[in-house]
């Protein structure tokens, strides 16, 4: 590829170069719910359009799960059959909610596409939830139908009497006799038709499409209501940031592009927007192979990457760390990997160094996003990631970001404040949460609750979740700073900083650390290590060492409240 003419471009120059020519990346401004918003002109108008485009990939492998393989053509036929049953047998109409609670199984994408293709709203529920939590999601969303697997059926069955709106349950891969009124998935769907025809539906870009529940680390989860436009616009944004990375590497963008890699390892749950929007929907549009994992296991991931010639893998940073640290890694040929992408949780700069050491040909990327931004918000890759390994990058040009102070005014570059986001990827709002909507959305701007700053070149740095910032004797301590210092020690695989209640200081710094396999370290060594990087008042006064992974929610975020409870660090447990 030609390089010299494209070297040393700024982000703004790369954006201009890609958006100024006719094609996929042309931008226009439209009105979305009364807010002028920049959008991609060429984005598919609906998810049904994305599904229709996938038919062109025909006999190519689409879904791989254990010994099962589904081509794009077979998948489309299955979706058409299922969509027909939803409409004709169950009377599902546009706007009705259809819930989906199962692990990563081939039936998951089929239910997703069948639901959104008829204009109904898909409600993916967290497969890790308890029966009480599943009951909450079903009741809150008002779902008429639930598709689930056998394990989720067992959890929800004792709660069915309290779910009058739920009319039908359909279970995939059940065993034995099913409870009365519960249908078997494959019997309900029926045989695959020779001629696949979707039921008729007219879907507008701003029609409701998805309800993904937020992590609920504090209080009840909130249903993030996404539209067809939210998801489809981010498909083009994802393609744009990949092309921009090529331009920043000095490659000629006229040489063509691929929207995603030819094959991906689905290492994260589909009930999270990263798995659904970033992995599943992107591969559906681009014609890539998606190799599914029922649950995350680093050794199994390594085996699948080699066996299926996976080009792209990633997830949250801890998953990448587990692959890099796995003792079996040197015994496998993973030269097929060309891209490692991660986000959803803070990534220490040390991770980039390890990736470059282990996969010298790979160009890793980091990013920032959340359920409310339909997954993607900013991205950092190519040479800019090497220059700024602690940054989560810049947004696509249809997405705006700004840093806001406590008084609601925009702060200058370099100052820490709350990150606000605006764009076609920002959700419509929270389902049945008028008070949360009023406090979270202002004239199209999403208040993320994350503390961040921007440098002079417009690169974003996530400092911390606002609620996780510690204040020790009046001094602000950003947890990510202490966690990065811990990550830089070779014996640390994962780390979480939590506040220890203190009667005089308010809080002191505590930490929970997962030790990497084959390593050992003492609390005193880690304290000395952190003290060599940070001010004394930032050194943890207590460090809990563990060999098992730290608890995380489906979004990859460490459950710090759970850690505090386990360690007896809740306020009522503070020493007098």
How long a stretch of residues is the chain? 576
Which residues, 6 or more positions from 67, have their beta carbon under 8 angstroms from its beta carbon?
A: none
pLDDT of residue 123: 99
* Domain 47-203 = CATH 3.30.230.70: no
Tracing tokens 């998801």 back to the chain, one arrives at 231
Separation of alpha carbons 305 and 189, rounded Å: 32
Fold agreement (4-43+225-465, 47-203): yes
Structure token pair of residue 106: 């081939």
In CATH, what number does 469-573 get?
3.30.300.30
Ranges of residues in the chain with a pLDDT under 50 are: 1-6, 217, 255-256, 571-576
Distances (CA, A) of 64 to 80, 258, 293, 310: 20, 21, 9, 12
2: number of Cβ within 10 Å: 10
pLDDT of residue 84: 98
Q: Please, are residues 106 and 293 in contact by the beta-carbon 8 Å criterion?
A: no
Whole-model pTM?
Answer: 0.85
* Domain 4-43+225-465 = CATH 3.20.20.70: no
- What are 195-199's contacts with CB under 8 Å, separation 24+? 196/55, 196/76, 196/77, 196/79, 196/80, 196/81, 197/80, 197/84, 198/48, 198/51, 198/79, 198/80, 198/83, 198/84, 198/117, 198/118, 199/83, 199/84, 199/87, 199/88, 199/118
pLDDT of residue 219: 62
Q: Count Cα atoms within 13 angstroms, Cβ side, for 115.
A: 27
Beta-strand runs (E) in 50-101:
61-65, 68-71, 97-101
Q: Please, are residues 242 and 18 in contact by the beta-carbon 8 Å criterion?
A: no
Q: Please, are residues 43 and 374 in contact by the beta-carbon 8 Å criterion?
A: no
pLDDT of residue 259: 56
pLDDT of residue 489: 96
Domain ranges of the chain: 4-43+225-465, 47-203, 469-573
Q: State pLDDT tens for residues 156-170.
A: 999 999 999 999 999
pLDDT of residue 501: 85
Q: Please, are residues 320 and 355 in contact by the beta-carbon 8 Å criterion?
A: yes
Separation of alpha carbons 12 and 291, rounded Å: 36
Closest CA to 113 of 16, 47, 174: 47
Q: State pLDDT tens for residues 38-49.
A: 999 999 999 999
Q: Count Cα atoms within 13 angstroms, Cβ side, for 119.
A: 15
Angle 309-311-315 from CA coordinates, rounded to 5°: 120
């Amino acid at each position: 590829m030609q390089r010299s003419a494209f070297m040393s471009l700024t982000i703004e120059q790369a954006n201009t170069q890609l958006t100024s020519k006719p094609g996929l990346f042309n931008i226009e401004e439209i009105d979305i719910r009364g807010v002028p918003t920049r959008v991609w002109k060429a984005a598919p108008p609906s998810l049904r359009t994305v599904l229709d485009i996938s038919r062109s990939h025909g006999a190519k492998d689409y879904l791989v799960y254990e010994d099962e393989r589904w081509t794009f053509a077979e998948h489309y036929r299955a979706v058409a059959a299922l969509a027909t049953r939803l409409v004709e047998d169950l009377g599902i109409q546009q706007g009705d909610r259809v819930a989906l609670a199962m692990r990563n199984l081939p039936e998951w994408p089929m239910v997703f596409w069948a639901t959104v293709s008829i204009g109904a709203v898909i409600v993916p529920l967290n497969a890790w939830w308890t029966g009480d939590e599943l009951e909450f999601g079903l009741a809150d969303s008002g779902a008429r139908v639930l598709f689930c697997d056998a394990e989720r059926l067992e959890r929800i069955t004792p709660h069915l009497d309290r779910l009058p709106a739920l009319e039908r349950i359909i279970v995939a891969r059940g065993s034995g006799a099913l409870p009365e009124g519960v249908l078997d998935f494959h019997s309900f769907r029926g045989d695959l038709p020779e001629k696949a025809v979707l039921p008729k539906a007219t879907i507008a870009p701003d029609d409701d499409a998805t309800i993904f529940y937020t992590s609920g680390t504090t209080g009840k989860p909130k249903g993030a209501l996404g539209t067809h436009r939210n998801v489809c616009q981010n498909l083009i944004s994802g393609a744009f940031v990949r092309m921009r990375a090529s331009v920043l590497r000095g490659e000629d963008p006229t040489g063509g592009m691929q929207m995603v890699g030819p094959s991906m390892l689905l290492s994260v749950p589909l009930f999270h927007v990263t798995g659904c929007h970033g992995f599943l929907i992107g591969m559906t549009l681009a014609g890539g192979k998606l190799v599914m994992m029922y649950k995350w296991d680093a050794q199994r991931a390594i085996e699948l990457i080699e066996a299926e010639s996976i080009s792209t893998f990633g997830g949250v940073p801890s998953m990448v760390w587990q692959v890099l640290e796995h003792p079996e890694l040197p015994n496998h040929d993973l030269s097929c990997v060309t891209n490692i992408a991660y986000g959803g949780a803070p990534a220490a700069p040390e991770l980039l160094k390890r990736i470059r050491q282990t996969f010298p040909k790979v160009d890793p990327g980091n990013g920032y996003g959340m359920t409310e931004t339909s997954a993607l918000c900013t991205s950092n890759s190519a040479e800019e990631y090497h220059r700024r390994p602690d940054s989560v990058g810049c947004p696509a040009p249809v997405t705006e970001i700004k840093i806001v102070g406590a008084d609601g005014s925009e702060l200058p570059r370099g100052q820490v404040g709350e990150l606000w986001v605006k764009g076609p990827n920002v959700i419509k709002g929270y389902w049945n949460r008028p008070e949360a909507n009023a406090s979270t959305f202002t004239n199209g701007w999403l208040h993320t609750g994350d503390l961040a700053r921007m440098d002079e070149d417009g690169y974003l740095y996530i400092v911390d979740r606002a609620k996780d910032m510690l204040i020790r004797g009046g001094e602000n301590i950003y947890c990510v700073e202490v966690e990065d210092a811990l990550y830089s020690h070779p014996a640390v695989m994962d780390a979480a900083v939590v506040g220890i209640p203190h009667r005089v200081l308010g809080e002191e710094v505590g930490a929970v650390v997962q030790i990497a396999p084959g390593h050992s370290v003492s609390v005193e060594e880690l304290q000395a290590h952190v003290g060599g990087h940070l001010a004394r008042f930032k050194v943890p006064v207590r460090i809990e060492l563990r060999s098992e992974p730290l608890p995380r929610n489906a979004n990859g975020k460490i459950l710090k409240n759970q850690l505090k409870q386990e360690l007896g660090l809740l306020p009522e447990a503070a020493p007098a």
